[in-house]
Homo-oligomer: A and B are copies of this chain.
Amino acid sequence: MADRRLAGPVRIVGTGLLGTSIGLALTERGVDVSLADTSPSSVALAVDYGAGRRAAEGDNPELVIVCVPPDVTASVVASELAAFPEALVTDVASVKAGPLAELVAAGADVSRYIGSHPMAGRERSGAISARADIFLGRPWVIAGHDGISYRRAAAVEQLALDLGAIPIEMTVEEHDRNVALVSHVPQVVASLLATRLGSATDGAVSLAGQGLRDTTRIASSDPELWVQILSANSDAVVEVLHRYRADLDGVIAALEAPDARGSRRTIAEALAAGNTGVARIPGKHGQSARFSQLVVIVDDKPGELARLLTEIGEAGINMEDLRLEHSPGAQIGLAEISVVPEAEDRLAAELTARGWRISELSA
């Protein structure tokens, strides 16, 4: 629907990773983007990157996008609402209830404000990491409230669509509870687990497998940003962490007396509950159906994996996912290929016929 795209002009306040990325994407689409930041050098960098032009006297934006840290989001939104009395204002902070409450308490005109949250965070930050494509295929929460009309808010949904994201509507409270569960608590858990490795021996880390790598990967995130996110959503995060700690205490107590009556049952039930929980996570195509996996042995030299994927393509089979297993010290890699269950047998036959060594891992 090309006739429904945002036409602009758009003003972006805050030229970090998200602000600069949005500016790049909108500029690519021909929108007039003006950029502002408390740091003149940050604006200069974003302008150099092609994210828009420097904001100027007389700018009259239709849409203002506030992309500043959570701590200062509400106050910046309030001044933008006051400075541009015709504009719709949104923000992209990872927390939504606090800023809205602050704005209402301050008497801001929230009939022109609706918060949003593109789920496109990264382990890197700053304009230097900005790219126009980081929103592609990612959820973008539109956090509605009763003070703004459906029609007035439409431009924010259009913004998400223009940037290739998938708009998802929910209330600010739902948003904050949801991201506490699927993003903020996992960050805390991963950071605390990775912390245990700080004093690990070389012998211990030499045994690290894919499980440890996966469970700790996001522990490399930026502490400065995350301390703000966690502090701003502390109520929702603490609520989940209390339940998590209660379960943890149960497992610790059981492991302190593993031969006591009921201990093994407690541990087994904790593990089984984890099975149930992980099955709730949707797959690549937004469904929880499981794919079948084949593991293929690939020599660790240029071209081998490409040859494998070429031959899968020649067989007319669509690969749903691909995971390479790390093999410290080994000269081979293991490529785990996910396909729809119906394609599994044919893929195994095709690859075997072409001489690939294959392990069928599907249960």
Spell out A's residues near B (CB within 8 Å): 119, 122, 124, 128-129, 131, 133-134, 136-139, 141, 164, 166, 168, 170, 174, 177-179, 181-183, 185-198, 200-201, 203-209, 211-221, 223-224, 226-227, 230-232, 234, 237-238, 240-245, 247-249, 251-252, 255-256, 258-259, 263-264, 267-286, 295, 297, 301-303, 305-310, 312-313, 316-319, 321-324, 326-330, 332, 334, 357, 359-361, 363
Q: Are A187 and B207 in contact (CB under 8 A)?
A: no
A321 nearest in chain B by CB position: B324
A317 nearest in chain B by CB position: B302
Known pairs A196-B277, A305-B319; A204 contacts B181 (CB<8 A): yes
- Chain B nearest CB from A260 CB (Å) reads 11
Q: Are A359 and B278 in contact (CB under 8 A)?
A: no
Identify A276's interface contact among B198, B205, B303, B329, CB under 8 A.
B198
Residues of B within 8 A of A275 (CB): 194, 219-221, 223
Q: Are A183 and B211 in contact (CB under 8 A)?
A: yes
Q: Are B133 and A357 in contact (CB under 8 A)?
A: yes
Q: Are A204 and B182 in contact (CB under 8 A)?
A: yes
Task: Give the distance in Å from the alpha carbon of A206 to the alpha carbon of B215 in the complex.
Answer: 20
Q: Are B330 and A166 in contact (CB under 8 A)?
A: yes
6 further A-B contacts with Cβ under 8 Å, apart from A208-B281, A216-B274, are A170-B203, A177-B204, A205-B282, A282-B328, A286-B329, A306-B313
Identify A252's interface contact among B138, B245, B310, CB under 8 A.
B245
Residues of B within 8 A of A208 (CB): 182, 281-282
Q: With a 10 A CB-CB cut-off, give which of A139, A194, A322 has the most chain B CB atoms.
A: A194
**Closest CB pairs A-B (n = 4):** A137-B330, A137-B327, A191-B274, A306-B309
Residues of B within 8 A of A301 (CB): 318
Task: Give the distance in Å from the alpha carbon of A278 to the alpha carbon of B167 in the complex.
Answer: 33
Identify A186's interface contact among B215, B270, B285, B305, CB under 8 A.
B215
Identify A248's interface contact among B192, B205, B280, B322, CB under 8 A.
B192
Known pairs A195-B247, A297-B133, A306-B312; A281 contacts B218 (CB<8 A): no
Q: Within the oligomer, what is the number of copies of this chain?
A: 2
A179 nearest in chain B by CB position: B207
Task: Give the distance in Å from the alpha carbon of A232 to the alpha carbon of B306 in the complex.
Answer: 44
Q: Are A264 and B137 in contact (CB under 8 A)?
A: no
Task: Give the distance in Å from the alpha carbon of A50 to the alpha carbon of B283 in the complex.
Answer: 35
A279 nearest in chain B by CB position: B220
A324 nearest in chain B by CB position: B322
Q: Are B274 and A302 in contact (CB under 8 A)?
A: no
A310 nearest in chain B by CB position: B306
Residues of B within 8 A of A183 (CB): 207, 209, 211-212
Q: Are B282 and A139 in contact (CB under 8 A)?
A: no
Identify A231's interface contact among B166, B252, B264, B318, CB under 8 A.
B264
Task: Give the distance in Å from the alpha carbon of A247 to the alpha carbon of B248 in the complex.
Answer: 13
Q: What would be 24 A-B contacts, judged by CB atoms less than 8 Å apart?
A: A119-B209, A129-B361, A133-B297, A133-B357, A134-B359, A139-B207, A182-B197, A182-B204, A186-B212, A188-B248, A191-B270, A195-B270, A198-B280, A216-B278, A220-B275, A221-B274, A226-B271, A227-B264, A232-B258, A234-B255, A241-B248, A283-B328, A309-B309, A321-B324
Known pairs A211-B186, A237-B255, A297-B133; A178 contacts B195 (CB<8 A): no
